[in-house]
């Protein structure tokens, strides 16, 4: 038995690479994007009433992690990347049907698109459905999860000479809170937990069209050492 689904929209996101995307929504409130709706859901009727809602659930496809063979157990980065648990005990991207879900903030409703923040989705992610967040039903103060009891600890983020100014200039050009985005995402410490990098080893990713590089001068601190518009632009 199989069913087919089709996207109702495609997410245009600040995250152009998987590396350094926060592991859950809201860990980086400055992470912004827009959901561009596809016909027929780009019609105003489909969005009527949504302006009364502050947050929405997005159901989406982990389109860059789809696999032919289902996994029964996974090794979540959260547990150090070397301990197996059942796939249904995790929010891992490698999962049956490749379906993800995130509660994100609805910043605005415009014709054919939704403006969002606090996202944890890659650019180009196909979105299958949108549902309003319902506080009385979706917020459960007594809920517990001993595998992920609290947000990952944040680490310090420093800027090498000139980099903060360069990030501010790129933020102005983009009209986006790029400095906050970089600080919030890197504070999540994107490196796999089992890696203890040499202090001079460089890591990098892209936020919007800006390449960001950093290293770990000490295990509990990140230093941003390069900010550059992606190749092809001056
Ligand atoms: N909040 C969602 C959930 O619980 O289903 C996603 C959690 S998952 C652990 C978050 C990670 O998914 C991010 O760090 C990012 O690397 C990855 N990711 C986001 N969008 C993706 C996509 N379209 N394809 C593959 N991986 C994606």
List C-alpha distances in Å: 211 to 2, 22, 225: 41, 17, 11
List C-alpha distances in Å: 101 to 59, 125, 163: 5, 12, 34
Distance 143 CA to ligand 1 centre (A): 22
Q: Which tens digit of pLDDT belongs to each residue from 65-101?
A: 999 998 999 998 878 778 899 999 999 999 999 999 9
- Tell me the average pLDDT across 39-57: 98
Q: What is the pLDDT of residues 92-128, one digit of tens each?
A: 999 999 999 999 999 999 999 999 999 999 999 999 9
Residue with tokens 């979540």: 76
Centroid of ligand 1 to alpha carbon of 123 (angstroms) = 11
Specify the ligand 1 atom closest to the Cα of 102.
1
Q: Above 80 in pLDDT, residue 227?
A: yes
Q: What percent of the chain has pLDDT over 70?
A: 98
Per-residue pLDDT, averaged over 172-177, amounts to 98
Ligand 1 pocket list (CB less than 6 A) = 18, 21, 23-25, 62-65, 91, 93, 100-102, 120-122, 125
Give the angle subtended at the CA of 102 by the CAs of 101 and 107, to the nearest 5°. Answer: 140
| Closest by CA position to 20, among listed 186, 169, 219, 140 | 186
Q: Which residue has the tokens 């995307």?
A: 21
Residue 206 CA from chain centroid, whole number: 12
Domains of the chain from N-terminus onward: 9-138 (2.40.30.70), 156-229 (3.30.2310)
Q: Would you tell me how many other CB atoms lie within 10 Å of the CB of residue 39? A: 8
Tell me the pTM. 0.95
* Chain mean pLDDT for the chain: 95
Count of H helices and E strands in the chain? Answer: 3, 12
Tens of pLDDT along 131-151?
A: 999 999 999 999 999 999 999
Q: State the distance from the centre of ligand 1 to the C-alpha of 177, rounded, in angstroms.
A: 21
């Amino acid at each position: 038995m199989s069913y087919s689904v089709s996207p109702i929209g495609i997410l245009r996101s600040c995250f152009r690479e998987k590396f350094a995307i926060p592991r859950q929504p809201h860990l980086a409130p400055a992470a912004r994007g827009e959901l561009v709706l596809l016909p027929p859901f780009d019609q105003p009727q489909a969005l009527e009433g949504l302006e009364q809602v502050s947050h929405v659930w997005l159901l989406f496809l982990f389109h860059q992690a789809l696999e032919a063979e289902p996994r029964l157990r996974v090794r979540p980065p959260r547990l150090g990347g070397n301990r197996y648990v059942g796939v249904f005990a995790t929010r891992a991207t490698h999962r049956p049907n490749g379906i993800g879900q995130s509660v994100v903030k609805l910043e605005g409703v415009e014709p054919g698109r939704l403006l969002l923040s606090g996202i944890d989705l890659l650019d180009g992610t196909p979105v299958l459905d949108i549902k309003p967040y319902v506080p009385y039903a979706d917020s459960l103060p007594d809920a517990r999860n001993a595998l992920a009891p609290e947000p990952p600890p944040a680490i310090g983020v420093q800027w090498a000479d000139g980099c903060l100014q360069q990030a501010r200039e790129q933020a102005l050009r983009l009209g986006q809170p790029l400095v906050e985005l970089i600080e919030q995402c890197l504070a999540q410490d994107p490196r796999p937990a089992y890696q203890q990098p040499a202090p001079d080893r460089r890591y990098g990713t892209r936020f919007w069209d800006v390449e960001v590089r950093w290293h770990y001068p000490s295990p509990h601190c990140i230093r941003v050492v390069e900010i550059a518009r992606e190749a092809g632009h001056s």
